């Protein structure tokens, strides 16, 4: 009887102290960690059209894999294929955006930010085990871009 009570108490303690991390599985045990009030939303034709409207060059294939939303921003996760980080670095955003920052090590990751009158975007591309992940985040708030959609934020959200 004491063993059963002790087991129940231990189980309750561990279940209360274990933090549940919401993740979006990608490939090869790699996942994208969700933060705050982010939710995975279904990808329909409208989400795909919005994602594809950001690109000028249609020759590169970046299929939309997942879409994550909050009230303040949207994160599109694409899995590019038949391309390289160098090719994606040359890719221009189709809308009337000004590039405001660029950082890359030219082989493993790339991070760019863009803005226009009422929209702010961040692009993070990372090479994981010779597979590329393309993340495009869009918000109408510069503060959100500068605080949540940063290079450090994106790089820490990928969990292996």
User: Hey, which residues does 55 pair with through a beta bridge?
Assistant: 93
What local confidence, expressed as pLDDT, does residue 52 receive?
87
> CA distances (Å), 89 to each of 31, 45, 94, 124, 149, in order?
23, 26, 14, 10, 18
Q: Give me the CATH number covering residue 41.
A: 3.40.1000.10
**pLDDT tens digits, residue range 72-125?**
999 999 999 888 888 888 887 776 788 888 998 988 999 999 988 889 999 999
The verdict on residue 40 lying in a domain is yes
The answer to whether the predicted template modeling score (pTM) of the entire model surpasses 0.85 is no
Residue 51, domain extent: 21-159
The verdict on residue 117 lying in a domain is yes
Contact in structure between 132 and 80 (CB atoms under 8 Å): yes
Indicate the pLDDT class of residue 61, thresholds 50, 70 and 90: confident
Max CA separation in the chain (angstroms): 70
Rounded mean pLDDT, 58-80: 91
Per the listing, tokens 């979006």 go with 24
CB proximity list for 83: less than 8 A, separation 6 or greater: 60, 61, 62, 132
């Amino acid at each position: 009887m004491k063993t059963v009570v002790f087991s129940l108490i231990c189980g309750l303690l561990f279940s209360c102290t274990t933090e549940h991390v919401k993740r979006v599985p990608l490939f090869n045990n790699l996942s994208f960690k969700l933060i705050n009030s982010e939710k995975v939303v279904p990808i329909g034709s409208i989400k795909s059209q919005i994602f594809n409207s950001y690109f000028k060059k249609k020759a590169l294939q970046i299929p939309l894999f997942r879409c994550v939303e909050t009230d303040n921003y949207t994160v599109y996760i694409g899995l590019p294929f038949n391309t390289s980080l160098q090719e994606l670095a040359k890719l221009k955003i189709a809308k009337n955006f000004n590039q405001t920052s660029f950082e890359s090590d030219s082989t493993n990751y790339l991070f760019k930010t863009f803005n226009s009158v009422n929209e702010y975007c961040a692009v993070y591309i990372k090479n994981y085990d010779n597979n590329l992940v393309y993340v495009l985040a869009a918000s109408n708030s510069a503060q959100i871009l500068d605080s949540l959609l940063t290079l450090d934020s994106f790089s820490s959200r990928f969990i292996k």
